[in-house]
Structure 1
Amino acid sequence: MAQHQAFYERTSESRFSPTEHTRGPWDPGSQHAGPPAALLGRALEERPGARTDMRLARVTYEIVRPVPIRPLEVTTTVVRTGRSVELVEAALTPEGGAPVMFARALRVRTLGEPGPAVAEGPQVPSPGGTAETPFFAVPWDVGYHTAMDTRFTEGTFRERGPGTCWMRMRMPLVAGEEIRPLDRVLVAADSGNGISNVLDFERHVFVNADLTVHLHRHPVGEWVCVEARTSVDPAGIGLADARLHDEKGPIGRSAQSLFVAPR
């Protein structure tokens, strides 16, 4: 039975202790990349001195090694700042170790008043009335797979091929702190390779070494939809490409480069 009801507990301004809800499907000692991606995304947006007239439009993560379930330090650096855009970096470092995950974000200045209206594109079926969809079999009882509410409108975790899945956080990213819109999309975006898996989970690993998310707006409401497709080359390199939505319509895209190999 899980004792914590958040992905992380804050221990200082820049230090966080992950809970069992961050555990991914590949290794009991490693996190799913969604929660640390959201943690870095929040740091990029809310670092001291961050401009409030800018918003994250693109973020790319490099996952240089598995993120362990142990205390983590988050650091941020401004690479370049200008009148309309800025480039910011963040790193995630476990206690007593080297950085395991990097993020580089493009933040863009927002208009002080509404600009021209542009159609957002087709909507996917809403999560309302859709039954919760179980994850593929995971060897442990508590982890990311139990911390997220998942509802497919196309495919399932247990079927191979494209998938469209609505996802909702069951708990805050950080204990005692409000869930931000950016938390919701970054926690979910790293699941594209699982939603659209084309290989048997019990026979293959298909782990992503990076994640890029482009957002033309941040989500509204509790649900984020990942509409994903995966392609794999016989050489063992894959790509999971996804459209991202909320219940109002499209919000952006995500992409993951995959390492594919037999178990």
Structure 2
Amino acid sequence: MSDAFYLPDPEQPGRYFSTESTRGPWSPDAQHGGPPSALLGHAIERCEPREGFQVGRVAVEILGPVPLAPLTVETKVARPGRSVELVQAILSTDRGPVMTANAWRFKLAEPKLELPEMFLPTGARPGPEHAAEPAPFPSNQPVGFHTAIEYRFVTGSFAEPGPAICWIRLKHPIVAGTTPSPLERTLAAADSGNGVSAVLDWDSHLFINTDLTVTLHRQPVGEWVCLDAVTYPQPHGIGMAETALFDERGPLGRGTQTLLVARR
């Protein structure tokens, strides 16, 4: 197994070889949504970067299963601006696009704004050192995303249906030869909101997300990202997972996923 989720193609910039660490928990041939979302974030941050700007929101659309195959990322600044700009990215295989992302990049205030303390985000969650050692992830795949991350549940578990608080840390870089950025770490973790807070039996139901939207009011500090997640399934088959995002200093932002809920 490689010590990275993706290996850059030395002969073709923007092309990456997917490793076994990207594999999802259920199919040996499909990736978990976290690594390719983070790969899109990796490319977005390198698209015409500007000093003093920071990504504040990323909306990922999952067009279909992402195979364990070479992937190509294309990016462009779709809407330039002095203070706000829109960056778009497309992730493709040789058969066509499999994911897209729109990211709003904001100019940071300098000097920083002076705001009343009541409007500043506060609160924290117990850190990963307070969490129990994890139980084995419920997957029949011996190698994949679930083995390439560390996860620590403060409340809940994969075997306990309902809301959960879970810390996630990447064991490997998203792209070989690079250090995961705060945005990459957040996107990789946030796609697990529907998994850590699952309310239906994994063996009898599907709860697949068609998208992932992450809004960050600041960048995470440190390697661990905390998900305080809740899943809301509905009888008609459309559900939602909502995740409050934290690091060890406090709140970062929010993640949401729209879910297809169905019987297997």
Short-chain TM bin: over 0.9
Q: Deviations over 1:205-263 (max 9, x none)?
A: 11100010000011000100010001111011110001000000000000000001111
The residue aligned with 1:259 is 260
**Pairwise CA distance, 1:175:** 1.2
The residue aligned with 2:60 is 61
Q: Deviations over 1:167-208 (max 9, x none)?
A: 000111111211211111110000000010001101111110
The residue aligned with 2:104 is 106
Whole-Å Cα distance in 1 between the matches of residues 235 and 121 of structure 2? 36
Whole-Å Cα distance in 1 between the matches of residues 62 and 136 of structure 2? 23
**Alignment size in residue pairs:** 259
The residue aligned with 2:40 is 40
The residue type equivalent to 2:44 in the other structure is L
Query: TM-score if structure 1 supplies the norm length?
Result: 0.95
The residue aligned with 1:83 is 82
- Checking the alignment, whether the CA contact within 8 Å between 1:132 and 1:149 is kept in structure 2 is no
Q: Within 5 A, what are the aligned runs for 1:1-263?
A: 3-11=1-9, 12-47=12-47, 49-94=48-93, 96-116=94-114, 118=117, 119-263=120-264
**Pairwise CA distance, 1:135:** 4.7
Whole-Å Cα distance in 2 between the matches of residues 137 and 60 of structure 1? 28
**Pairwise CA distance, 1:50:** 2.1
**Pairwise CA distance, 1:46:** 1.1
**Pairwise CA distance, 1:55:** 0.7
Whole-Å Cα distance in 2 between the matches of residues 184 and 133 of structure 1? 20
**Pairwise CA distance, 1:134:** 3.0
Paired residue secondary structure (2:179): coil
Whole-Å Cα distance in 1 between the matches of residues 33 and 105 of structure 2? 22
- Checking the alignment, whether the CA contact within 8 Å between 1:135 and 1:145 is kept in structure 2 is no
Query: TM-score if structure 2 supplies the norm length?
Result: 0.95
In structure 1, the gaps of 5 or more residues are none
- Checking the alignment, whether the CA contact within 8 Å between 1:134 and 1:150 is kept in structure 2 is no
Paired residue secondary structure (1:140): coil
* RMSD of equivalent CA atoms: 1.2
Whole-Å Cα distance in 1 between the matches of residues 51 and 253 of structure 2? 21
In structure 2, the gaps of 5 or more residues are none
Of the structure 1 ranges 52-61 and 238-247, higher mean CA displacement relative to structure 2 is found in: 52-61
Whole-Å Cα distance in 1 between the matches of residues 43 and 199 of structure 2? 34
The residue type equivalent to 1:28 in the other structure is P
Of the structure 1 ranges 101-110 and 116-125, higher mean CA displacement relative to structure 2 is found in: 116-125
Paired residue secondary structure (2:160): coil
- C-alpha change, 1:13 and 1:52, in structure 2 (3 Å) is farther
**Pairwise CA distance, 1:82:** 1.0
